[in-house]
A = this chain, B = another copy of it.
Amino acid sequence: MTSGEDSLIFSYFKPLATDPGAFGLTDDSAVLKADGEDIVVNTDAIVEGVHFLPDDPADTIARKALRVNLSDLAAKGAVPGGFVLTLALRTYDEAWLAEFARGLGEDIATFGCALLGGDTVSTPGPLMVSVTAFGRVPVGKMVRRHGAAAGDCVVVSGTIGDAALGLAALNGGAVATALADDSKARDALVTRYRVPQPRNALALAVRDFATASMDVSDGLAGDLAKLCAVSGVSAVIDASAIPLSASAKVLLDRSVVGLETLVAGGDDYEVLCTIPENHMPAFVQAAQQTGVPITVIGTIVAGASPPRLVDQAGRDIVLKRLSYSHF
Interface residues of A (CB under 8 A from B): 1-3, 5-6, 23, 26-47, 49-51, 72-73, 75-76, 78, 84-86, 88-89, 92, 116-126, 128, 130, 132, 134-135, 142, 144-146, 214-215, 222, 225-226, 229-230, 306, 322, 325-327
CB distance from A213 to the nearest CB of B (A): 9
Copies of the protein in its oligomer: 2
B119–A45 contact, CB under 8 A? Answer: yes
Q: Using Cβ atoms and an 8 Å threshold, which residues of chain B touch A325?
A: 2-3, 5-6
A327–B92 contact, CB under 8 A? Answer: yes
A39–B31 contact, CB under 8 A? Answer: yes
Lowest 10 CB-CB distances: which A-B pairs, in order? Answer: A125-B125, A34-B34, A1-B225, A5-B327, A132-B132, A122-B326, A3-B325, A32-B39, A29-B42, A43-B84
User: Taking A126-B124, A130-B45, A132-B84 as contacts, is the C-beta distance between A34 and B39 under 8 angstroms?
Assistant: yes
- Selected from B5, B116, B215, B326, the residue in CB contact (under 8 A) with A28 is B215
Q: Using Cβ atoms and an 8 Å threshold, which residues of chain B touch A44?
A: 86, 119
Q: Which of A122, A215, A327 has the most CB of B within 10 A?
A: A327
A123–B125 contact, CB under 8 A? Answer: yes
A2 to B219, CA, bound (A): 12
CB distance from A58 to the nearest CB of B (A): 17
A6–B215 contact, CB under 8 A? Answer: no
Q: Which of A27, A124, A145 has the most CB of B within 10 A?
A: A27
B130–A86 contact, CB under 8 A? Answer: yes
User: SS class of chain A's interface: helix, strand, loop or mixed?
Assistant: mixed
Q: Using Cβ atoms and an 8 Å threshold, which residues of chain B touch A125?
A: 47, 123-126, 128
B50–A142 contact, CB under 8 A? Answer: no
CB distance from A164 to the nearest CB of B (A): 18
Q: Using Cβ atoms and an 8 Å threshold, which residues of chain B touch A116?
A: 41
A92 to B327, CA, bound (A): 7
A230 to B325, CA, bound (A): 45
User: 15 other contacts beyond A1-B229, A34-B38, with CB at 8 A cut-off?
Assistant: A6-B326, A26-B145, A27-B145, A27-B146, A27-B230, A29-B135, A30-B42, A33-B38, A41-B134, A43-B84, A45-B88, A50-B121, A86-B130, A121-B326, A125-B128
Q: Using Cβ atoms and an 8 Å threshold, which residues of chain B touch A43?
A: 84-86, 117-119, 132
Q: Using Cβ atoms and an 8 Å threshold, which residues of chain B touch A327?
A: 3, 5-6, 89, 92, 122
CB distance from A293 to the nearest CB of B (A): 22
A44 to B28, CA, bound (A): 10
A23 to B130, CA, bound (A): 22
Q: Using Cβ atoms and an 8 Å threshold, which residues of chain B touch A31?
A: 38-41, 142
Q: Looking across the interface, which residue of chain B has its beta carbon closest to that of A5?
A: B327
User: Taking A29-B42, A117-B42 as contacts, is the C-beta distance between A1 and B130 under 8 angstroms?
Assistant: no
CB distance from A46 to the nearest CB of B (A): 8
